[in-house]
Amino acid sequence: STANAPEDDAPNRYSRTERTTFSRYSRDANSSGSSLPSNTLEKRIEELERELAKERQENARLMKMAQDKEELIGKLKEEIDLLNR
């Protein structure tokens, strides 16, 4: 399972860098102020909601991975304990 760990980290690292666009969005919002039409704002809200949903999915996936790894660690500790006896 330790051989899979670097592979697990690589996709997460790349997906994080692709998603780090917050500063660009906040700069755009600050420069244009309230002069944006409501249609543009609605599209932006929808885009942010989709991004939030993706982030929540990613968070849930990472939480599940962490739980699975914790369970595996517990099982391996039990196995080591049995072997030591």
Torsion sign, CA atoms 47, 48, 52, 54: positive
pLDDT at 15: 52
pTM: 0.51
The domain ranges of the chain are 37-84
Cβ–Cβ under 8 Å, residues 15 and 58 = yes
Which tens digits make up the pLDDT trace of 6-51? Answer: 444 445 554 544 444 555 555 555 555 566 788 999 999 999 999 9
**Separation of alpha carbons 72 and 74, rounded Å:** 5
CA distance 31 to 21: 16
- Residue that wins the pLDDT comparison between 74 and 38: 74
